[in-house]
Amino acid sequence: MEHQKPHVFPNARKPGELLFAIIILVLALFLISQIGNQTTWLPRKGLAAQPRLWPLIGLGTMTLFGVLHLWRTSRNERTPGRWREAAIWLSSLEFVVWYLIYVASVPYAGYLLSTLVFCLFLTWRAGYRSARYFVIAALFALCVVLFFKTALNVKIPGGAIYEFLPDPARPFMLRYF
């Protein structure tokens, strides 16, 4: 009877696996090269009290496992579809851009309006077109705003649009929405 490897050690790469391994290793090496600029080693402090210790351990481990992953992945057979997989990864960055637009809009439109528009737009963008989903998204946006601004009392700057509100409504909106 021939000895077979368990399924946890595949003989072929998944599409994009080698690309992923390379990206992780390059990122780890870049971050570890920057550790001297981002942290410090304090004189007369114990090892556990050093600000650089745990980032160095984390990045060293990330680099070690990045090398091991790249080495193991490069030994397996190549499967087609690497660049198709990379295109899927890049297309997901669209949602990062939408989030950055949302964050940039808060100082102008206010937290309530920005969150409401963001949730409604993402509901539409995700393919949900029924009015029921838009109502759920609007209620979710309202709950998020009330939770962060009212319950947790997070200090989020009021939007420039609040300057156009009548005097009695402006402080209320700035405080709770």
More confident residue, 173 or 141: 141
For 48, the token pair is: 């556990």
Report d(CA 16, CA 81) in Å as an integer.
7
Q: Please tell me whether residues 72 and 118 are part of one structural domain.
A: no
Same domain, residue pair 99 and 172: yes
Structural domain for 98, as ranges: 93-176
Q: Which of these three, 55, 80, 105, is where a domain ends?
A: 80
Domain boundary among 38, 57, 80: 80
CA–CA separation, 150 and 103 (whole Å): 19
Distance CA 128, CA 147 (A): 25
Same structural domain, 75 and 99 = no
Residues 103 and 124 occupy one common structural domain: yes
Does residue 4 fall inside a structural domain?
Answer: no
143 vs 132: CA distance, rounded Å: 17
Domain for residue 9, yes or no?
no
Count of the separate structural domains present in the chain? 2
Average pLDDT, the chain: 88
In this structure, is residue 10 part of a structural domain? no
Dump pLDDT digits (tens) for 10-28: 566 677 788 888 999 999 9
> Does 1 fall in a domain?
no
- The answer to whether the CB of 140 falls within 8 A of the CB of 119 is yes
pTM for this structure? 0.64
Q: Which DSSP state fits 159?
A: P
C-alpha to C-alpha distance for 75 and 17, rounded to whole angstroms: 12
The answer to whether residue 144 is domain-embedded is yes
Report the pLDDT value the prediction gives residue 68, as an integer from 0 to 100.
93
- 107 shares a domain with 55: no
pLDDT for residue 3: 61
Q: Convert the pLDDT of each residue in 30-87 to its tens digit.
A: 999 999 898 888 888 888 888 889 999 999 999 999 999 999 888 877 777 778 888 8
Q: Clarify whether residues 53 and 107 are in a common domain.
A: no
Question: In this predicted structure, what is the pLDDT of residue 76?
Answer: 77
